[in-house]
Each structure stands twice: as structure tokens, then as C-alpha cells.
Amino acid sequence: DVSKLIERLGEKHSLSVSEYETLVENFNEENAEILRKYADKERRAHYGNKIFIRGLIEVSNICKNDCYYCGIRRSNREVDRYRLTADEILECVDTGYGLGFRTIVMQGGEDSAFTDEFLVEVITEVKRRYPEVALTLSLGERSRESYMKLKAAGADRYLLRHETADSLHYSKLHPPELTLSHRMDCIKSLREAGFYVGCGFMVGSPYQTAKTIAKDLKFIEELRPEMCGIGPFISQKDTPFKDMQNGSADFTCYLLSIIRLIHPPVLLPSTTALGTIDSYGREKGILAGANVIMPNLSPLEVRGKYALYDKKLCTGSEAAEGLRELKKRMSAIGFEIVNERGDISTSKRED
């Protein structure tokens, strides 16, 4: 029965694909509560009540890809496109450092202006100014050589969600030129280049099933990524998926707890999408086992333009300047935001 499966997952951090499927199919409040308790215990064993923050700079909304779900896809003519200059990116980093961020994330569309030379220059300068800051990139699929150059320049981590571990499902979310096997090759190259690697997927994406999620969970179990980003799918009005149903906050939290148990030390964000779909979503994600929050550090003028989905939050406690409010909200549920790099835990605390 399901509570036995949960118990075994908590002990062995591993289930078969069909057992993961059973767990996913049995999403209900009672099982969510059991999972939350186990996940909370694991998270506390590795991170206590600390929450790590990452300053997110959305460096460009120009993208050569045409993912069916994404608001900044190439074919969307309604997007007001922008690209930050090196100086603008560095200014955001300065602001973030001043606010206490010790991890900076540069995320963007696959913009061909971001050549290796350009990125190496920016990375080198960030590291020259702030050697103690961890620098995370999330710039999509690049060549193995490119990843190696970016790593050698000083970048530390790379987020590249796998989106789904089922190739048929992958083909329903992306045009034919984008394939799961290439995505997986990129993740492998990132590992080999020495990055901390982040995978992940959208919860409730169109055509997702309990079986595809079970495959995602098995993939996470096998990869043991340092980071894993999951958030609800939210439709965007100018994409082919504009009429598709959104993912749910509670089911996302259920999966967050499961992922914490699969790989206890994983750095697991309570994502912007979760905070967008539910006004208490950030807190629910943390209570379910997440330990990372990524406030928006992009220049104010461009924030509304990085519209991956409708009504995406970028103000209030979602904004880097809203850190005081975020700190209050986290302390109200018993957690403390810390100004640390927030590397992955390598040892459990003794209770």
C-alpha cells in the first residue's frame, strides 16, 4: 500500500518506475501530509531551517527556439524583445551583491548574441568583482566546447530542465528540431564540464501523465542533480498551448516532497511559477521540502517583458528589492533566509 511505498522511499531513496507511478496516482491530502513530514525531516537534516536565495537576472527574452508552451518562443510576435548589455548585467550583479545575494543566476532565451566570447567576458568580470559569489547560468542548449569554456571562465552551476524524460511527451511540447536525446546529451556535457547541474520539469504540462512523471522521478533518482527546478505549467495567451489547463500548486508540492526524498541534499527551489499560481505558493513549496527561492533581480524596465506565462510575478516579495517582505513571510513559517552561496550539503547533521 501507498504508505509502505512512502516509507521505503524515505529509507532507500529509490523506487521502481511503476512504484513511482503508483505514488503519483495516489496524490491526495493524506499522502501529501505524510510525504511532507518525511521531506521536512530530510531537509532539516541537511539545511536546518535555512533558505538560500538566488538573484535571478533575466538577461534576454530573444530566443531561437519555438517551444509550444513558452511565452518568449520565436514565433510570438507580441513580445517586446530585449537583451541586456554586459554593463547592465554587471549593474544587476552589483545591486544583488549589495542586497546580500551570494548566488547570481543569469537566465535567458537562446539568444545568438550570447557568444562564448561575450559570456566569458561577463563571467570573468563577475568573478573578478565577487570571487565568493556562485554564478549560475541557464541559457539553454550549447555545445560541449561552449559549456567547457563557460566553466573554465568561472561559472559554477547550470540549470537546464530536462522538461520530460519521455521522448514522445517531449515531442508534443517541442518542435521536431528539439529532441530529448539532445537535451540529455547537453545535461551529460554539463556534468562532464564540472558544473553543478540542475534538471527539472513543469508540473501539469500538456500531455503529461502519471507514467511520464514516474519517468521524470526515475531520471532524477539516477542523475542525482545538485539542483532540481519544478513548477506548475501556466498557459501563455500567445502560444499554441494558450487554452491548456494550468498545473496545480498542491500537486507541485506533492512532487517537491517526493523529490526531496529521492535525493535528500538536492537544492530545490520553491519557484516563481508556484508563487504565481497560488498566492501562498512559495510558502507551501518550502513547507513541502524546498529550500531555495529565486527573487527577480532584472532591471525594472524589462521585468514585465520576460513573460514565459501569463501573470508571472515579478514584484513584491518576488522582487529582489522585496527581500524584507520575503524574509518576513519565511520567518512567519519558521524559516530563515541566509546570505550564503548555498552549496549542496555533503553531510547530514546529527540531531
Q: Which residues in this chain contact ligand SAM in the complex, by CB under 6 A?
A: 69-70, 107, 109-110, 138, 140, 160-161, 163, 202, 231, 233-234, 236, 273, 308-309
Note whether 306 and 297 are within 8 A (CB).
no
Grid cell, residue 255, equals: 512532487
Please, what is the minimum distance in Å from the beta carbon of residue 58 to ligand SAM? 8
**Nearest to ligand SAM of 202, 223 (CB atom):** 202
Please, what is the minimum distance in Å from the beta carbon of residue 130 to ligand SAM? 23
Please, what is the minimum distance in Å from the beta carbon of residue 34 to ligand SAM? 27
Q: Residue count of the chain, please give it.
A: 351
Report the distance separating Cα 48 and Cα 40, nearest Å.
9
Grid cell, residue 191, equals: 556534468
Note whether 241 and 206 are within 8 A (CB).
yes
**Nearest to ligand SAM of 101, 241 (CB atom):** 241
Please state whether 100 falls in left (phi above 0), alpha (psi between -120 and 50) or beta.
left
C-alpha angle with apex 157: 152 to 158, nearest 5 degrees? Answer: 100
Please, what is the minimum distance in Å from the beta carbon of residue 52 to ligand SAM? 19
**Nearest to ligand SAM of 10, 109 (CB atom):** 109
- How does DSSP classify residue 242? T
Count of C-beta atoms within a 10 Å radius of residue 50: 17
**Nearest to ligand SAM of 9, 288 (CB atom):** 288
Please, what is the minimum distance in Å from the beta carbon of residue 105 to ligand SAM? 10
Among candidate residues 322, 329, 328, the one with its CA nearest the CA of residue 283: 329
**Nearest to ligand SAM of 31, 271 (CB atom):** 271
Please, what is the minimum distance in Å from the beta carbon of residue 331 to ligand SAM? 28
Grid cell, residue 119, equals: 559570456
Q: Which helix (H) or strand (E) holds 14?
A: none
**Nearest to ligand SAM of 40, 141 (CB atom):** 141
